[in-house]
Structure 1
Amino acid sequence: MTFDALLKNAAQRLQLAGSPSPRVDAEVLMEFATGRSRTWLYTWGDSECPTWEHARFDALIAARAQGQPVAYLTGEREFWGLPLATSPTTLIPRPDTETLVEAALARASTPTGRLLDLGTGTGAIALAFASEKPDWQVVGVDVRPEAVALAADNARTLNITNATFLVSDWFSALRSSSPSESSPGSPSPGSTFEIIVSNPPYIAADDPHLGQGDVRFEPRSALVAEADGMADLLHLITTAQAFLSPGGWLVLEHGYQQAPSVRQALKLAGYQSVESVQDMGGHERVTLGYLE
């Protein structure tokens, strides 16, 4: 079969399987399966597809039709223009989270400073910020060693040298009683940050969206929080105060219906200039405030 025919059939199959972007999925998987660019496929699509490339493409389409995320099948997802390696052990970076990066950059008013990314996963937020602010020190932490290793690999691949990643259950690794207990390259025990950001778990355990789309295959521990999805957000709002520099900002991503609750919690905890920022879909996705 020709490449054009294969793509047409695959897109139809993925549409029937419920993919929200069947043609794009098919093209991305074709690029990955064959090593041919989308431009080549548009130009030479009437060429015959080699048998082994056909077989590999069919296997990827079958997996996608079962619901496997494209980012896990290809092992890569672009975020903030950066190609990031992905893994089933981490969340897939999403365009809406670029709202969090934009909000953090807008508050990075000094030439140098320190930013902490809690629950860094692939390192997407930390690396996006670090790429824009090379004179800032960026620290990303995650409770999962495999996520920390992935984020560090992404930093090396992108040659981003001002980002460090370490294993930490939220702030736990920043509380060492002596420098010798800290990981190499980690912040000193008493360090503080001008900006702390996080995209924590914020989905309620009974949310029906957990049974839909890509989230079915993503790590549940990175998605679900107790107290109707608010537990980790509330924990960070309280705990971050000890790690923020005077005038430091806390910037949090949350669910599209959680903004009023997050604003209230920040105000009750003493944060100033509390506001929410809309994502590309017009939903209040990020809420932030600073401490005097």
Structure 2
Amino acid sequence: MPGDALTVSELVRLAAARLEASGSGSPRLDAELLLGQALGTDRIGVLAHAGAPVGTGALEVFEALLVRRERGEPVAYIRGFREFHGLAFGTDARALIPRPETELLVDAALAEVVRRLTTAPRPPGTPALRVADVGTGTGAIAVSLIVGLRRRKMDEAALVIAVDSSEDALQLARENAVGHGVADRIVFVAADLFPHHVEPTYALVCANLPYVPTAELEQLAPELAFEPRQALDGGPDGLDVVRRLLERLPEALAPDGIALLEIGADQGEAIVREVSARLPGWRCTVAPDLAGRARLARIERHA
């Protein structure tokens, strides 16, 4: 970056121009977040001190961060964390970066668990309500769910089994659970979709599985090349892994259980057809995200 004693706002303007030229879809936001990282503050601090000069040390740190972003590395990996559901989650190349749209799944899961815990009698000694987080990645869903329950003083009545086929991702999820003080209510399991000796005891299954069609991967933002491909690639139509999950749901879901699956914007009708074909008698509905696009499939088991 050029100049001596440039102000915060000047640096943001210059950096945003560079990032726009390199292909960033949110150049100004990226510049503000990275400058905040270099200054040891957050975006609000950057905006609040727009006229303050930036010293040489912070300028050098900012330049190094900026170069990484110009090369396509996601801001969340550069900063080492991402905000999700009001919490900060450690992020690196071990797992997919949590997306805002997945908060819809967390909200639905939290509402379902709270409903079950408050509408049915739970005498002393009742086993904890079991929730599976399939493909946990950073642990964002599992951790956010337990944190939400803890705020309601309900966390002791629930247990999340967080499953991932990647040991590296599971370690990151453990780190995030420990960081938020909820590791005591989450069991981490390395497995493909479900633990090896699964029983139909889960009241709720949450899954944010790979659902991007293989052919579309190359059309996505270049920064996705930094994230684990296996966490994105859903096969020819994006539903390969989802179909495998549907085949195994009867093994895992309790008689009155439900599954919540994040899906792609054009997969709503397809997931309803798949459930109808593979799980006769079960019910599948699709809810939209804030933009009105199909995002969350709710699958209800009927005994």
TM-score (norm 2): 0.86
The total of aligned residue pairs comes to 278
Matched, 1:259 2:247: no
Question: Which 10-residue stretch deviates more, 72-81 or 12-21?
Answer: 12-21
Correspondent of 1:237 among 243, 246, 257: 246
1:1-292 alignment runs, 5 A limit = 1-108=6-113, 109-111=115-117, 113-133=129-149, 134=155, 135-160=157-182, 161-171=184-194, 173-175=195-197, 189-190=198-199, 192-207=201-216, 210-268=219-277, 269-270=279-280, 272-292=282-302
Change (3 A) 1:212 1:250: same
Tell me the distance in 1 between the aligned counterparts of 2:245 and 2:94. 22
* CA distance in 1 between partners of 2:41 and 2:235 (Å): 45
How far apart, in 2, do the equivalents of 1:38 and 1:78 lie?
A: 12
Shift of 1:36: 2.7
Residues 244-289 of structure 1 deviation map (CA, whole Å, 9 limit, x = unaligned): 1111001111111111111111122125331001112211011111
Q: Provide structure 2 residue ranges, at least 5 long, that are not aligned to the other structure.
A: 1-5, 118-127, 150-154
Conserved 8 A contact 1:115-1:136? yes
SS at match of 1:250: strand
SS at match of 1:4: helix
- 1:290 aligned partner, one-letter code: E
Alpha-carbon deviations, 1:231-250, whole Å to 9, x = none?
A: 11111011111111111001
* 1:152–1:164 CA contact under 8 A, matched in 2: no
Take 1:68 and 1:208, find their aligned partners in 2: how far apart are those partners?
A: 16
Secondary structure of the 1:257 match is coil
Note closer, same or farther for the CA distance 1:208–1:232 as it changes in structure 2 (3 Å cut): closer
Q: Give SS of 1:282's match.
A: coil
Change (3 A) 1:122 1:104: same
> Percent identical across equivalent pairs?
33
| Distance in structure 2 (CA, Å) of the matches to 1:36 and 1:259 | 41
TM-score by length of 1: 0.90
Letter in 1 for 2:187: T
The change in CA–CA distance for 1:208 and 1:222 in structure 2 (over 3 A counts) is: closer
User: Separation in 2 of the partners of 1:2 and 1:90?
Assistant: 36
1:196 Cα deviation after fit: 0.5
1:37, distance to aligned residue in structure 2 (A): 3.7
What root-mean-square deviation, in Å, do the aligned CA atoms of Structure 1 and Structure 2 show?
1.7
Q: Distance in 1 between matches of 2:16 and 2:28?
A: 5
Q: Which piece of structure 1 moves more, 234-243 or 156-165?
A: 156-165
2:215 counterpart SS class: coil
CA contact (8 A) 1:29 1:60 kept: yes
